[in-house]
Structure 1
Amino acid sequence: MSFPGWQSFTPQRLLQISVAVAVATIVLKTAAWYITGSVGLLSDAMESFVNLAAALFGLAMVTIAQRPADDEHPYGHHKAEYFSSGFEGALIVGAAAAIIWAATHRLFDPQPLQQLGWGLALSVGSSALNGLLAWAMLRSARVHRSIALEADARHLLTDVWTSVGVVAGIAAVMLTGWLWLDAVVAIGVALNILWEGGRLIWRSSQGLMDEAVEPEVLAEIQKTLAAFSDPAIRFDHLSTRRAGQRRYVDLHMHMPASWSLGRAAAVRASVEQALMSAVPGLRASIQLLPNDVEAHFDDEADLT
C-alpha cells in the first residue's frame, strides 16, 4: 500500500485530513448503527466523535507548538503537543465509560439486529479510511517527531481494531443467534479503548515532566561523543530531556587548563554541531571545565 506524497504533508495538513475523515466516519458509523440497532456499532460511532474532538484539539496544539520562542516562552512552545495527547486520552476514557453504560443496559435487554449486511459494509468502509490515514500519520509523525500526530494516529488504529471487534461480535450474533454477544463485545471494545486512553494520559504526563530522550537517541548521542577520541578531552554529567519535537542534551566537556579559550570554544562548537547533525531537532548545551575541576550537583550548597 502506498500513500503518494505523505512525506511532504505537514502535521497540520494531516490533522486537517483527520478532521475530515472523522466527520465522514461519524456519518458512516452512525448510519450503520441506525439501520442495524447494534450497540456495538453505536460504541464504534461514539468513538468517532472522540476522533473528531481529538483531531481538532491536536490541530490547535500543533499550531501553537510551532510558534517561535518569545519573551514569555524563551524555550519555545513545543510542549503544547503533550496537552493534545493528554486531552485525547481523557476523551477516550469518557467515551469508554459511555459505551459501558449503554452496553450494560443492552446486555440485560437484548434487541434483535437488522440489515446487518449494510451495517457491516458501512463500518468496514469507515475503518478502511481510518486505517489508511493512521498509516500515513505514523510515518509523518516519525519524520516530524510529533507526539500529537502520533497520538492521533494510534487512536485511529485503536478505532480500526475496535471496528474489527464489533464486526466479529455481530458475525458471532449472526452465527449463534445469541443477541447478548453484541453487548459483550461492546463492553470489550470499551475496555480496550479505556486502556489506550490511560496510556495516552500517562505518556503526556511523562512528557510534561521532562522525560529523558528515547534509548536509541541517547545511544546516538553517546556514539557521537565517543568519536571525539582525543585523550585530553572527556565528557560527563550528561542529561537529556524531550519537549515535543525538540530534544535537549546538557553535558560538561573537560579539557586541559592550558588550552586557550579560543581553542576550547572551537572544539566545543564542533562537538555541538556533530551532536545536532547526528540527532535532528537536538539542541546541545556544553559547559567547558578544566580537567582538574569537577562539578558536584549533590552538594548541600547546590540544593539550597
Structure 2
Amino acid sequence: MPPPDAYPPQLLRQARLSIAVALAVLALKVVAWRMTGSVALYSDALESIVNVVTAVAACLALSYASRPADENHPYGHQKVEYLSAVLEGALIMIAAAMIVMDAVAALLRPQVPDLSPLAIGFSLAATALNWLWARQLIRRGRAARSPALEADGHHLMSDVVTTGGVLAGLGLAWGTGWPVLDPLLALAVTGHIVVQGWGVIRGSLAGLLDEAVGEEEQERIAAIIEASAAGALELHDLVTRRAGPVTFIEFHLIMPGAMTVRDSHAICDRVEKALRREDRGARVIIHVEPEEMTEPEGRLIG
C-alpha cells in the first residue's frame, strides 16, 4: 500500500510566492534607505537581499524534496529540506554580522538620518508585508512539517524585528539629535537575529542526524499501535525518525506461533492504516516475530 503524497501542491506555491514577496520587500526597503541615507536602513535592506536568496533556496529545496523515491533514493528526497533550512540559519547569522559591521562603522562616523514620512511609510509597508507573510509561512510550514518553509517564515520574522528596531532607532536619533542611537539600536536587534538563526540551524541538524520524534509523540505512536494490533502479543524495539513531512516508524510485533502469515499480514495492514490516519506522511516498517521472541522491555498488547 503506497503512502499518500506527503507534499501537497500548495506547499510549492507558497514557496514560489515567497520569492515574489521577498523581492517586493527588498524594493520597498531600498527606496526607504535611498531616501534617508540611514546606515540602519541600509543594513535592513542588505538583510532583505538574504531573504530573496533564502526564498529561492527554499523553493528549490521543496521542489526537489517533493520528488518520489527512486532507485538511488529509496527513502525519498525529503532531507534536502533540512539542508535548505541550515543554509537559511547560516545566512541569518551572516546578515547579523553584516549589520554589526555597518553599525560599528556608523558609530565611528555618526550622522543624524534625514527622515521623511514617505521613507518611513515605505519601511512600514515592507515590515507589514513581511509580518503577514512570515506568519503564513510558519503556520503552513508547521502544519505540513516542512522545515524549509518554516525556516523561511522564521527568517522573515527576524527581519520584522530588525526593521522594528531600526525604525525605533531612527526615531530616537532624529528626536533626540543623538545620531549614535541609530547604529546602537541596529546592534541591539542583532541579538534576536542570532537567536533565530541558531534555532533554525539546531532544528535542522536534529533532522539531518535522524533525531527521534519527541517523547510525547513516541508514546502516542505506541498507543496507536497497541490499539490497532488486536491479535498480536507484544510490541518492542519501536524507533522513529523524521525527514521533513515524513515520519519513519519501525518496530517489532510478536505474533502467536500458530498464526498464519495471512492473519499476521492483516494485523500489520490494520496497524499501518491506523498510523497513517494519524500521520499521513508515515512510512511504516513492521518486523513480525514468533511468541518465543518476546523482550523484557516489550509492551503487551490486549
* TM-score normalised by the chain length of structure 1: 0.89
In structure 1, give the amino acid aligned to 2:19: V
Q: Deviations over 1:202-260 (max 9, x none)?
A: 22222111121244532431231231474852111101000112111100111211212
Q: Letter of the aligned partner of 2:223 in structure 1?
A: K
Q: Encode CA deviations 1:254-289: one digit per residue, 9 max, x unaligned.
A: 121121222112111111111111112111111111
Shift of residue 111, structure 1, vs aligned partner:
0.7
Do 2:228 and 2:274's aligned partners in 1 also have CA atoms closer than 8 Å? Answer: no
Aligned mates of 2:295, 2:90 — CA distance in 1: 42
Aligned: 1:268 with 2:271 = no
Q: How far 1:87 moved relative to its partner?
A: 0.9
Distance 2:202 2:221 in 1: 26
Q: Please say which of residues 189-198 and 276-285 is displaced more in the overlay.
A: 189-198
Distance apart, 1:53 and its partner CA: 0.1
Contact 1:220–1:278 (8 Å) recurs in 2: no
Deviations 1:95-126 (A, max 9, x none): 11111111101112101210242222111100
Amino acid at match of 1:132: L
Which deviates the most, 247-256 or 230-239? 230-239
Code of the residue aligned with 1:280 in structure 2: it is R
Instruction: Tell me the number of residue pairs that the alignment of Structure 1 and Structure 2 aligns.
Output: 289
1:5 match:
none
Measure the CA separation in 2 of the matches of 1:232 and 1:18. Answer: 48
Q: Which residue of 1 aligns with 2:131?
A: 131
Contact kept? 1:9, 1:140, Cα under 8 Å: no
| Match in the other structure for 1:12 | 12
Cα distance in structure 1, aligned partners of 2:151 and 2:77: 18
Change over 3 Å in CA distance of 1:141–1:215 after alignment to 2 = farther
**Aligned partners of 2:36 and 2:115 also within 8 Å:** yes
One-letter code aligned to 1:45? A
State the alpha-carbon separation in 2 of the partners of residues 157 and 271 from structure 1: 40
User: 1:105/1:282 Cα in 2 relative to 1: closer, same or farther (>3 Å)?
Assistant: same
Assess, with a 3 A threshold, how the Cα gap between structure 1 residues 215 and 117 changes in structure 2: closer, same or farther: farther
The residue that corresponds to 1:118 in the other structure is 118
**Quick one: distance in 1 between partners of 2:175 and 2:220?**
54
1:222 paired with 2:222, answer: yes
Match of 1:280 in 2: 280
User: Which residue number corresponds to residue 300 of structure 2?
Assistant: none
CA shift at 1:186, angstroms? 1.0
RMSD of the TM alignment (CA)?
Answer: 1.9
Code of the residue aligned with 2:93 in structure 1: it is V
Are the counterparts in 2 of residues 217 and 279 from structure 1 also a CA contact under 8 Å? no
Could you tell me how far apart the structure 1 residues matched to 2:64 and 2:231 are? 45
Give yes or no for contact 1:137–1:153 (8 Å, CA) kept in 2: yes
Deviating above 3 A after TM superposition, structure 1's stretches of 4 or more consecutive aligned residues are 214-217, 228-232
CA distance in 1, matches of 2:200, 2:40: 23
Gaps of 5+ in 1: 1-7, 297-304
Gaps of 5+ in 2: 1-7, 297-302
Instruction: Give the corresponding residue for 1:39.
Output: 39
CA shift digits 1:41-64 (9 cap, x unpaired): 112111111110000011111000
Structure 1 distance, partners of 2:244, 2:276, is 16
Shift of 1:133: 1.2
Instruction: Work out whether 1:164 is the aligned partner of 2:170.
Output: no
1:85 match:
85
Mean CA deviation greater in 263-272 or 77-86: 263-272
Summarize the Cα distance change of 1:126–1:211 in structure 2 as closer, same or farther, 3 Å threshold.
same
Query: 1 CA distance for matches of 2:190 and 2:138?
Result: 23
Identity %: 39
Q: Write out per-residue CA displacement over residues 61-116 of structure 1, whole angstroms, 9 at most, x where no aligned residue.
A: 10000111111111110111111101111111111111111110111210121024
1:26 aligns with 2:19: no
Whether 2:252 is the aligned partner of 1:252: answer yes
What does residue 3 of structure 2 align with? none
In 2, the alpha carbon distance for the partners of 1:12 and 1:230 equals 40
